[in-house]
Amino acid sequence: MPSLLDPKSAQAYADFEYKDTYDIVQEVDGPPAQVCLDWIDKIFIASNKIVVDGVGRGKVGLKRYLAAVDAYETILAVGLPDAADAGADQVPSILFEMNPFGVIPWTAFLSLVKFEPVDGGKRTTVRWGLKSLPVKNADGSYADDLQIRVNTEAMLKGQMEAFAALYKKN
């Protein structure tokens, strides 16, 4: 069974206090380590404004500005193998947070993206998990962030479908 290269990130994600969670799953025709590195460049960085450069291949510490919601996201940890063509028993991952939240009514947000090997590492199942904790109203109930989550999930699914299409062979 494949093992996560950064189990501490998985534990941090599991321990994270949240009210809402959703997962985006996408099959990609490429090896996990390469898909992970490409995801950082084509999804996380893409056309976003980078306000802090990251360190190393995984760009740990990279901070991007999301102008549409006036928020910032930072890569906290990346589990990568030593080589881009790592074996089928290793699962690269990326852990990132959003803070501050801009116009989004959240007090906490954490995301873990895992790149699971399929077909002996020739293909990848990308599992993008997101957890959020909305602000509380004056009466102690949570703010309604359903529309934001629905819109975000639809946007991210579209991004992942377009990302996967980059790997399709003609």
For residues 70-85, one letter each, b for 16 or more C-beta atoms within 10 angstroms of the residue's C-beta and e for the rest, the string is ebbbbbbbbbbbeebe
pLDDT computed for residue 146 by the predictor: 92
* pLDDT tens, residue by residue, 22-74: 999 999 999 999 999 999 999 999 989 999 999 999 999 999 999 989 999 99
DSSP 8-state secondary structure symbol assigned to residue 140: S
Q: Look at residue 3 in the predicted model and tell me its pLDDT.
A: 87
- CA separation for the pair 122, 116 (Å, rounded): 10
| Residue whose C-alpha is closest to residue 150's, from 163, 135, 132, 164 | 132
Residue 160 backbone class (left: φ over 0; alpha: ψ -120 to 50; beta: rest): alpha
- Do 126 and 157 meet the contact criterion of CB atoms below 8 Å apart? no
pLDDT in tens, 117-161: 999 999 999 999 999 999 999 999 999 999 999 999 999 999 999
- Compare 12 and 170 and report the one with higher pLDDT: 12
Neighbours of 5 (CB within 10 A): 22
> pTM (2 decimals)?
0.93
User: What is residue 82's predicted lDDT score, i.e. its pLDDT?
Assistant: 79
From residue 53, give the alpha-carbon distance in Å to each of 41, 110, 122, 141, 146. 12, 20, 30, 38, 32
Report the distance separating Cα 79 and Cα 90, nearest Å. Answer: 10
Residues 6 or more apart whose Cβ sits within 8 Å of residue 145: 20, 104, 105, 106, 132, 134
- What SS3 state is found at 22? strand
2 in Cβ contact with 31 (< 8 Å): no
